[in-house]
Structure 1
Amino acid sequence: MTAETGFFRGKSLGATSLLTFAILSLAWFVGFASRLFAIVRFESIIHEFDPWFNYRATHHMVENGFYNFLNWFDERAWYPLGRIVGGTVYPGLMVTSGLIHWVLDTLNFHVHIREICVFLAPTFSGLTAIATYLLTKELWSAGAGLFAACFIAISPGYTSRSVAGSYDNEGIAIFALQFTYYLWVKSLKTGSVMWASFCALSYFYMVSAWGGYVFIINLIPLHVLALIIVAAMQYARARISRQQFMTLFVGGLTFFGILAVVVYFGLVWGGYVAPFSGRFYSLWDTGYAKIHIPIIASVSEHQPTTWVSFFFDLHITAAVFPVGLWYCVKNVNDERVFIILYAVSAVYFAGVMVRLMLTLTPAVCVLSGIAFSFTFEKYLRDDEKSSTKSDSDRQMYDKVTKKGKVDLGVRAVGTAAASETAEDGVGVNSRSLVSVVLVLFLLMFVVHATYVTSNAYSHPSVVLQSSNSHGDRIIMDDFREAYHWLRENTADDARIMSWWDYGYQIAGMANRTTLVDNNTWNNSHIALVGKAMSSNESAAYEIMRELDVDYVLVIFGGVIGYSGDDINKFLWMVRIAEGEHPKEIKEANYFTDSGEYSVGPHASDIMLNCMMYKMSYYRFAEVRMGYNQDGFDRTRGYVIGKKVRAVFHSRQAICEETIVQDITLEHIEEAYTSENWLVRIYKVKKPENRPTIKKSERQVRLESKRVAKV
C-alpha cells in the first residue's frame, strides 16, 4: 500500500514510515510485556517439562562448546540405555540462546544463560509480529499487515507457547515459520534469486529449530502444484468447451490422485521411503493413536480440539478470519493462493490436534488483519469521497449564488446537493455505527487476550498458586521442594523411577538419573515402568531390582485437589503397559464391577493392591481435612477404598483399641513427602543378604537333653 491509498492516504512517505514504525514498536512492546506475568508474580523460572531439558542442553552447550554438545551422550537419561542428545534434538533453540549469550558476553553484559532462556520467547514474539506484518503486506496491504502484527502480538493461541519461562522450540519456530513464508511469497512475486536464497536459509533455520518444519516442506510444494494446476486449467479452458473442460479436470484429478497413492505405497513397500509416524496417522484418524500407540494419545496436547478452545485461543478472530479468506478467494492471485491453502490446511489440523492450534493462529491473524483492514479502508474511503463531493457541490452552489444567476438549473443543482447530503448523512451514521462496533470488538479482543494470558498461560507448572478464604495468595512449591530433597539427600548416581512426565524436571532440577523422560523414544521401556506401577508390590519389586531403581517418585493430589496427579494418569500407564505385556496387565481388571474407574470402596482388588495405589494413599487415611472424614480424596471426591481401621480387643476386662494400617509396604519405605503431599518419594529396600527365617523357626530345638559327664 502506498502513501496515497488506504489508511495512509494524504500522508507523506515519512509520516507513513514513522507511523508504521511506531505501531510495530508498540506491538513488540505490548507482546513482550504481556508475557511477563509469571515473572512478576513468581520469579524468573523455567516452566513446564520440555523446557527443562532445553535449558539443561543449552547450559551444557554453553559450558562445553557446540562440538561437545553434538557428541553429548546423556547418561542421566533412560537408564540403563542412555541417550545420544546431538542426533535427537533440534539444536536451533540452543544455538540461538548460546549465540545471544556469546554476543552479550562479548559486549561485557554478563548475563546467566538461564535468564536468556527465560526471556527468549517474549523477545521473539516481537520478531514474529514484524514477520507477520511483512507477510501480510506482501499478500494484501500495509494496513492489513499492521492489524495482523497487533493480533499475533497478543493472540492467546501464540502466547500460550511464548510466555516468559516457556523455553521451548515453538518460542522461536513461529517467527521462523512466518519469516520463511514471507521470503517465499517475496521470491514468488519478484522472481529474484536473492530472495529465494534468503528463503532457503530461513527454511534451514526453521528445520533446525522445530519438528513442525514438515508443515512448510509440504505446504510450499502444495502451493507450487496448485499454481501449476491453475495455469493448466486457464490454458485448457480457453481452447476447449466447458463440458470437455470439466471432464478433463475431474478425470485428470482422479487419475493423478490414484497414481500418487499407488506410487507412495509402492515406495514404502519397496523400502525406498520410510512410513509415516504414528503422530502423522493420528492426524487423519483421531482414534488411531488410542488403539495402536496409546502413549501418543496419553499426551493432553495430542487430543482433538474442542469448540471452546477455538474461541479461547482466537476470540473474535475465529469469526472474522473466514471473511478475510473470502476476500482472498474473491481477489485471488498467485500469492493469495498460498494463504488460502495455509488457512484451509491449518484449520483441519488444528481441529484434529489441539497442539496444532499454534500453526493456525498465524494464518488467522493474517486473514483477520485483511478483513479488518479491508472493512475500515472501504468505509474511510467512502467518507472521504462523499466529503470531497459534498464540498465541491457546495462550492459550485456558492459561486452561482454570488453571481446572482439563480435560475431553474441552479435550483436543480441545489436540490440534488441537498438530497445527496441527506443520503450521505444516513450513510455516515451507518458507517460510524459499524466502525464503533468493530472497534469494540477489537477492544474486547485485547481484554480477552490479556485475561487469558494472565490467568491461563502464566502459571509455571512447578509452582502452584491458591488462595485462602480471605483471598490471600498461597504458594505451593512442592515440586521444587521435593527435587531439592533428591539433590541433597540421595547419592549422585541414584536412579529415580517415575512416570515419564517428570523425567526432564528430575534431571534438570534434581540432577539425578531417570529411567524414562519426555523424549518418549522407547515405548518398551516406558511400558516396563507402567507395568511396575500397575503390578502388586512383589512383582513391581522384581522389575525395580532389574532396573537398579533406588527411589520411586509419584505425584499425588488428593490432599490439595490437584487433578494432574498420577492417579488420574494411571489408566494410561495401564494401557501402555498392556500394549507390551498383554498377558500380565489388562485394563479391565482395574475397573469396578460396573465398569467404573474408582479408587473408592468398590475398586477392584487388583487396583487396591497395585503399586501406584499404595504409594499414593500410604498413610493418607491418617489425614483429616476440614469437615471431611478420614481418607477423603479431594480430587476424586470420595473416601478411598483402603484406610486405617480400629480393632477392639479386651485384655483383663479392659477394652483396648489398636489402629491397623490397611496399606502396608514390604519392599519399599517412605523416604519423603512434601508439605502438601503433592510429591511422595519412596526408597527401594535392598535385598537381604540371607533369606528371612520365621520367628517360630529362629530357636534351635534340641531333640534330647544332654548332660556333661564328670
Structure 2
Amino acid sequence: MCVTCFVLQVSAWGGYVFIINLIPLHVFVLLLMQRYSRRLYIAYSTFYIVGLVLSMQIPFVGFQPIRTSEHMAAAGVFALLQAYAFLQYLKDRLTRQEFQTLFFLGVSLAAGVVFLTVIYLTYTGYIAPWSGRFYSLWDTGYAKIHIPIIASVSEHQPTTWVSFFFDLHILVCTFPAGLWFCIKNINDERVFVALYAISAVYFAGVMVRLMLTLTPVVCMLSAIAFSSVFEHYLGDDLKRENPPAEDSSDEDDKRNQGNLYDKAGKVRKHVSEQDRPEEGLGPNIRSIVTMLMLMLLMMFAVHCTWVTSNAYSSPSVVLASYNHDGSRNILDDFREAYYWLRQNTDEHARVMSWWDYGYQIAGMANRTTLVDNNTWNNSHIALVGKAMSSNESAAYEIMKSLDVDYVLIIFGGVIGYSGDDINKFLWMVRIAEGEHPKDIRESDYFTPQGEFRVDKAGSPTLLNCLMYKMSYYRFGEMQLDFRTPPGFDRTRNAEIGNKDIRLKHLEEAFTSEHWLVRIYRVKKQENRQTLDHKLRNIAAKQKYTSKKTAKRKRGHIKNKLALKKGKKLNKKSV
C-alpha cells in the first residue's frame, strides 16, 4: 500500500522527494534509537527496491532516482541497513566483546564507503549535484542571489503567520499539543509522525507551497489532541454509566453495616456519605471544557467552509470584487483579452508576455508565446525580462530578433489589482541582470534613496523603460476619482511621474474594460516594407520581361522559316 501511494505521488508531483528522504530518515533514527527489528528490515528493503523500480518507469522521472543527489539519502540508508542486518546476524555467533568491536568497525566502514562513493560519483558527473530548489530550502537567500527566477514565484516566498492561521485556524494551537502527546508515548510509528511534523513545520515556514506537506500531519496531531482532551474530561462520565462489578468485599460490608470498622481496620463511612455525589466544580468544569472544545470544532468547520468557497474555489482567470452594499462584481478582463487575441490576430502570431501568463495565452487564445510556466531555459526568460526593462528602442531590437507580433501586459492601477506586472517588474530586472549584467542593473531602477517609485521622484531608467510606458500609456489622461489627480495609480497610491508617454515602435491594439489587460501591436519597419514591395515589383517585371522576350524570339524564328517557304509573315511577331 505504501509503495502504491509513493508511486502515485511520483507520477503526480515532484514533491515526492520529501517522502523519499523522510522515510530513510525515519529508518536511520530508529537505528540510532536501537529499535531495529526484522519487520523494519523487510519493510524498508521492499519499499526501496520496488518503489525505485516502479518510479523509474515514469518517463518524466527516468533515471533520476539513481543519478540525482536528492535520492542518495535513501540509497545510503538502504546500504547501511544491509550492513546493520548482517551484523545482527553475526551477533549470536560472536562474543560480546568481538561483536562490539565488529559492530563499531562495520557500521563506520559502511557509512564511510557510502559517503565516499556518493562524493566520487558526484565529482565525476554520474550523480547530479543538489539542485537550486534544494539549496533554497536551507538557505532562504540563496535563490534570490543565484536563481532569482525561483525566488520570483509567489509560492516560493516565506510563509507569514497570517497564512498559517488562514489555512489552519485553531489547529495552529492544538497541533503542538498533539505532538507532545505523541512523543509522550513514543513507539516506532510515532517516531515517524514526530519526524514528519518537525520537518514539515520547517519547510512550510520556508515556502508557502509546502503548506501542502504540513496540512496532513497537522490534522492528524490535532485530532490526537482533541481526542485526548475528550477522553480525559468525558472518561469519568463513561465509567459512571458502566460501573465496574461489585466484588465480595463490598457485599460483606453491606451485610455488616453495623460494624464500625471494615476488614482493613479503617473506620467505615456512613451509607449516606458513600452514595452522596461529588460536590463542587468537577462536573461543571467537565461540561465547560467539553462545550469549549465543541465550539472550537464548530468554528473550525465554518472557517474551512468559508476559505474553501471564497479563496480556493475561484478560477484565477475570473476575478471578483465586492461593493459597499455587499454585491459582487465579476471582472472578466482576462477572458475578454484572450478572446480578442484569438479572434483578431493571425493564427501564427507570436505574443511576448511574462511567463506567468504563458499557459493561459496558449490555452485560451491559442497563440504562440515566447515563455510559459514550463520554460526551462533561464536565458530565454532573461531575454524577455531584458526587453521589458530596456527603453523602447533597445526593446524593439530584441522583439525584432524574436519575431514578436504582440506584447501583452497586466496593469492593475485602475482597479487596485496588486498582482500586476509593475509589482513583478523588479523580478524581471533581477532575472535579466543575471544573464545581461552589462546592460541591466537593478540599482538603476531605484531612487538615490533606494526606493522603487513610479511618481516624479522615480528613477529616469524606470520612467522610460518599456514596461512603464506600456502600463501607463494614456493613463495620465484618466481621472479615476474627484479626490485624486489624473494618472493616480490605485495600486501604488501615487501619481505617475511620466504622463506624456508616446510610443514609437508599438501601438495600442486592445485594452480591457477595467484596463487589467493591455495588448500592443509591434509595428513593422517602414523601410523593410518598402524594400519588400520594390523587390516584389522588380521580380514581377523581370518575369514579365523575360516571357515577352522569349515570345518575340520565337516569333522571329517563325518569320524566317516562313520567308524561306514563301508564306505570309506573322504580324503579331513583328
TM-score normalised per structure 1: 0.61
Pair 1:373-2:227 in alignment: yes
Instruction: Kindly provide the amino acid, as one letter, of the partner of residue 223 in structure 1.
Output: H
Residue in structure 1 matching 2:475, options 620, 630, 650:
620
What SS does the corresponding residue of 1:475 show, helix, strand or coil?
strand
Change (3 A) 1:316 1:406: same
Pair 1:563-2:418 in alignment: yes
Per-residue Cα deviation, 1:94-137 (whole angstroms, up to 9, x for no partner): xxxxxxxxxxxxxxxxxxxxxxxxxxxxxxxxxxxxxxxxxxxx
Bigger CA drift: 452-461 or 620-629?
Answer: 452-461
Partner of 1:310: 164
Aligned-partner Cα distance in 1 for 2:21–2:271 = 59
Instruction: Kindly provide the amino acid, as one letter, of the partner of residue 418 in structure 2.
Output: S
Pair 1:636-2:492 in alignment: yes
User: What aligned pairs does 1:220-619 form with structure 2 within 5 A after superposition?
Assistant: 220-231=23-34, 263-386=117-240, 388-389=242-243, 400=254, 405-409=257-261, 413-415=268-270, 418=273, 421-423=276-278, 426-619=281-474
> What number of residue pairs does the alignment pair up?
467
Aligned-partner Cα distance in 1 for 2:228–2:106 = 37
Aligned-partner Cα distance in 1 for 2:271–2:358 = 79
1:290 to partner: Cα distance: 0.2
Partner of 2:520: 682
Asked if structure 1 preserves the Cα contact closer than 8 Å seen for 2:35 and 2:188, the reply is: no
Partner of 2:74: none
Instruction: Kindly provide the amino acid, as one letter, of the partner of residue 545 in structure 1.
Output: K
Per-residue Cα deviation, 1:212-240 (whole angstroms, up to 9, x for no partner): 1111211122222222232279999xx99
1:398 to partner: Cα distance: 13
Change (3 A) 1:688 1:312: same
Aligned-partner Cα distance in 1 for 2:340–2:177 = 56
Asked if structure 1 preserves the Cα contact closer than 8 Å seen for 2:349 and 2:406, the reply is: yes
Per-residue Cα deviation, 1:401-422 (whole angstroms, up to 9, x for no partner): xx79544358965548736854
Partner of 1:673: 511
Aligned-partner Cα distance in 1 for 2:111–2:415 = 56
Aligned-partner Cα distance in 2 for 1:612–1:259 = 55
Aligned-partner Cα distance in 2 for 1:422–1:306 = 51
Instruction: Kindly provide the amino acid, as one letter, of the partner of residue 135 in structure 2.
Output: Y
Instruction: Kindly provide the amino acid, as one letter, of the partner of residue 359 in structure 1.
Output: T
Aligned-partner Cα distance in 2 for 1:262–1:423 = 69
1:371 to partner: Cα distance: 1.7
Aligned-partner Cα distance in 2 for 1:691–1:606 = 32
Per-residue Cα deviation, 1:180-201 (whole angstroms, up to 9, x for no partner): xxx3xxxxxxxxxxxxxxx323
Change (3 A) 1:423 1:672: same
Structure with greater contact order relative to length (CA < 8 Å, sep ≥ 6): 1
Partner of 2:501: 663
Identical amino acids, percent of aligned pairs: 65
Per-residue Cα deviation, 1:649-682 (whole angstroms, up to 9, x for no partner): xxxxxxxxxxxxx211111100000000000000
Aligned-partner Cα distance in 1 for 2:302–2:113 = 51
1:448 to partner: Cα distance: 2.1
Which residues of structure 1 form unaligned runs of 5+? 1-182, 184-198, 644-661, 693-710
1:423 to partner: Cα distance: 4.1
Partner of 1:207: 10
1:304 to partner: Cα distance: 1.2
1:334 to partner: Cα distance: 1.7
Instruction: Kindly provide the amino acid, as one letter, of the partner of residue 408 in structure 1.
Output: L
Asked if structure 1 preserves the Cα contact closer than 8 Å seen for 2:395 and 2:466, the reply is: yes
What SS does the corresponding residue of 2:526 show, helix, strand or coil?
coil
Partner of 1:115: none
TM-score normalised per structure 2: 0.75
Aligned-partner Cα distance in 2 for 1:487–1:470 = 36
What SS does the corresponding residue of 2:351 show, helix, strand or coil?
strand
Asked if structure 1 preserves the Cα contact closer than 8 Å seen for 2:233 and 2:289, the reply is: no
What SS does the corresponding residue of 1:301 show, helix, strand or coil?
helix
Instruction: Kindly provide the amino acid, as one letter, of the partner of residue 575 in structure 1.
Output: R
1:544 to partner: Cα distance: 0.5
Per-residue Cα deviation, 1:45-91 (whole angstroms, up to 9, x for no partner): xxxxxxxxxxxxxxxxxxxxxxxxxxxxxxxxxxxxxxxxxxxxxxx
Per-residue Cα deviation, 1:602-655 (whole angstroms, up to 9, x for no partner): 112211111000100000011111111111111111110111xxxxxxxxxxxx
Asked if structure 1 preserves the Cα contact closer than 8 Å seen for 2:233 and 2:286, the reply is: yes
1:577 to partner: Cα distance: 0.2
User: What aligned pairs does 1:62-73 form with structure 2 within 5 A after superposition?
Assistant: none
1:454 to partner: Cα distance: 3.0
Aligned-partner Cα distance in 2 for 1:309–1:252 = 48
Change (3 A) 1:420 1:267: farther
Change (3 A) 1:442 1:406: same
1:373 to partner: Cα distance: 1.6
Bigger CA drift: 501-510 or 436-445?
Answer: 436-445
Aligned-partner Cα distance in 1 for 2:96–2:285 = 48
Aligned-partner Cα distance in 2 for 1:429–1:416 = 25
Aligned-partner Cα distance in 2 for 1:420–1:404 = 17
Bigger CA drift: 344-353 or 290-299?
Answer: 344-353
What SS does the corresponding residue of 1:527 show, helix, strand or coil?
helix
What SS does the corresponding residue of 2:158 show, helix, strand or coil?
coil
1:326 to partner: Cα distance: 1.9
Aligned-partner Cα distance in 1 for 2:219–2:106 = 35
Aligned-partner Cα distance in 2 for 1:304–1:597 = 22
Instruction: Kindly provide the amino acid, as one letter, of the partner of residue 231 in structure 1.
Output: Q
Asked if structure 2 preserves the Cα contact closer than 8 Å seen for 1:397 and 1:413, the reply is: no
Asked if structure 2 preserves the Cα contact closer than 8 Å seen for 1:630 and 1:639, the reply is: yes
Aligned-partner Cα distance in 1 for 2:35–2:355 = 52
Aligned-partner Cα distance in 1 for 2:173–2:242 = 34
Q: What is the Cα-based RMSD across aligned positions, in Å? A: 3.2
Instruction: Kindly provide the amino acid, as one letter, of the partner of residue 639 in structure 1.
Output: E
1:595 to partner: Cα distance: 1.3
Per-residue Cα deviation, 1:537-577 (whole angstroms, up to 9, x for no partner): 11101110111111000000111111100000000000000
Aligned-partner Cα distance in 2 for 1:625–1:363 = 48
Aligned-partner Cα distance in 2 for 1:271–1:470 = 64
Aligned-partner Cα distance in 2 for 1:374–1:254 = 42
Asked if structure 1 preserves the Cα contact closer than 8 Å seen for 2:143 and 2:150, the reply is: yes
Change (3 A) 1:232 1:388: closer
Bigger CA drift: 282-291 or 625-634?
Answer: 625-634
